[in-house]
Chain A
Amino acid sequence: MKENNNRLGWLFTSPYLLYSIVFFFIPLIWSFYLSFTNWDLIAPDFQFVGFDNFAKALQSPSVHAAFWVTYKFMLVFVPLVSVMALIVSVLVHSLPKYKSLFLVGFFLPYLSSGVVSSLIVKGFLSYNSPLNMSLRKIGIRIDWLGTSWSALFIVGLIMAWKFTGYYALILTASLESIDHEVYEAAAIDGVNSKQRFWRITLPLLYPGFYTTLILAFGVTFGIFTEVYQLTGGGPNFATNTWQMEIFSQAFKNLQAGYASAVALLASIATFVSIYIIRKLLEKWGARNGWV
């Protein structure tokens, strides 16, 4: 019986094992190897260049930009999406009827392709669009995607639009799981609505909130489509995310060796940042007695 299960276990997990060898282990090792070469993605031969790629990457303005842009996106996207998701979930939760109808409606943006949402935004912000026409009438001219702060903000806003409904769904599930007796007991003790939100709803919401925050922080490390479509990483690298930088270096400038080195740096930055964010979030929850 035991012998049998051993074989079966490996048989059933074999698709994953094979996959992880071909599309995880081999690429991982290969990536380390490539980052020490000057390979150009096409030519069959290349040389070892030692740590040159890393030295070059650490001095490159576009790599510096990629490092900081991630955190700038965090500053825009995470608060925006958290507040919007919180508002939507609390609002929907307070509706006695048609809750799921509203939730499904708010979820629709999550189904959109980044290409499509970028296209819509580009059209909406084009020179002769209704928005810009009316702004010009009152004397405001903004080149939305050609200005650093607004380009960054707009990409953050598109992401927030996309993820709000999804996170609201997670938060609503947490809200629904809160026992009504807790509220009733609090009402008997004379707790007002402000105290109720901060002292009861928020702490009980924390597990769901923690999940959405971790997901939201994760999103900021993988932004590509919207930036590729709308700004190409510009203006002046203001929206140059890690993915955009690696893509441009490897597949546009054909510096695959150098791009591998950048990818290695990006992975380290991502790994360390996510680790620190997790620890901080857990500490924050523990300090407030929410965990």
Chain B
Amino acid sequence: MVGSKDHRRTRLILLYSLASVLLFVMVYPYLYMVLNSFADWGQVDRKLIPTSYSLKSYSWLFTGGESGVSRPWLGAFLNSVIVSIGSTVLMMLFAVMVAYALSKLRFRGRDTVNNFILFHMFFPSIILLIPSFLIIQKLGWYDTYWALIIPKGMSLWAIFMYTNFFKAVPTVFIEAAKLDGAKDFQILYRIMIPMSKSITSVIFLFLLMERWTELLWDMIMVRSDNMLTLNVLLSQMFGPYGTYPGPLYAGSVLLSLPIIILFIIFGKNFQQGMQVSLK
């Protein structure tokens, strides 16, 4: 029996080391990014783990350094915040509203709308790119926040997730609330939203992350420097800063950090929510 206990222990140690090594490999690119953002410029991309460090890359971001190509990094960061939060709030709001109607309200045409959303979801959206650009121009939204926020303010996936989740909420609760004289909007934010806390954090995080890292749309819709999102600015600097990779790593940290922090804050909810949403 002692032998089998030892055997079990070795197996566990082996499993944990394997998982840790694998995890390290997967997270290493992030580590590489952070280390290189603080590395002395002579060592950027020259060492697996740099040996001397400086804050030059970060100060370069804000001053533009001696090259004179000062770029609006801080402004781009704020644009990203405005645009991502704006779009995500709209996506959440609309998803909850539409999902409530599709799951709990009986109305003529409901099945048609439901089926159409599924069709829309799986439709290859690439065909819409060029005419959408045109529509934005016709609406006079080109190079404004509207172009970045409104067209990205609807998530069919979120509607789909909420509809499935709301279907599982017992109708009894809603009827009871109606007897107490609650209006549908009240039911929505007093019953449905509090009951879906766990998947709300998952959906919110996914939507925010996707919006935060969007490139193609944000690149096409905007022309002026002061409207760029951080992701687009970083992408634009790929070439010109090629000889100065340090600041690019610093910019990458600036772009990656907020999402990772949010993920850690919501991490606990995220685990539960993920399990609920996958059932």
A residues neighboring B (CB under 8 Å) = 2, 5-13, 15-17, 19-20, 22-24, 26-28, 30-31, 34, 41, 87-88, 91-92, 94-96, 100, 102-124, 126, 128-130, 161, 164-165, 169-170, 173-174, 176-177, 208, 221-222, 224-225, 228-229, 242-243, 246-247, 250-251, 256, 259-260, 263-264, 266-267, 270-271, 274
Contact = CB atoms under 8 A, between A and B. Distances in A.
A219 B217 CA distance: 17
Contacts of A7: 107
Contacts, number: 241
B271 A221 contact: no
B249 A123 contact: yes
Contact of B94 (A9, A15, A112, A264): A15
A264 B127 contact: yes
B158 to A, nearest CB: 11
Nearest to A274: B122
B12 interface: yes
A284 B154 CA distance: 35
Interface in B97-140: 97-98, 100-102, 105-110, 113, 116-117, 120, 122-124, 126-135
B101 A9 contact: yes
B32 A22 contact: no
B15 A113 contact: no
Contact of B15 (A95, A104, A274): A95
B265 interface: no
Contacts of A122: 238
Prevailing SS type, chain B contact patch: helix
A115 B231 contact: yes
Q: Which of B130, B151, B260 has the most chain A CB atoms closer than 10 A to its own CB?
A: B130
B220 to A, nearest CB: 6
A164 B25 CA distance: 12
Contact of A12 (B100, B213, B238): B100
Nearest to B116: A20
Contact of A173 (B22, B36, B117, B274): B274
Contacts of A94: 15
B278 interface: yes
Q: Which of B22, B122, B135, B231 has the most chain A CB atoms closer than 10 A to its own CB?
A: B22
Interface in B171-221: 184, 209, 212-213, 215-216, 220
Interface residues of B, number: 79
B113 A16 contact: yes
B124 A22 contact: no
Contacts of B235: 115, 225, 228-229
A29 B215 CA distance: 25
Contacts of A259: 130
A128 B106 contact: no
B94 to A, nearest CB: 4
B23 A106 contact: yes
B59 to A, nearest CB: 19
B46 interface: yes
Closest CB pairs A-B (n = 9)? A9-B107, A12-B101, A27-B131, A30-B131, A113-B213, A267-B124, A173-B278, A270-B124, A123-B45
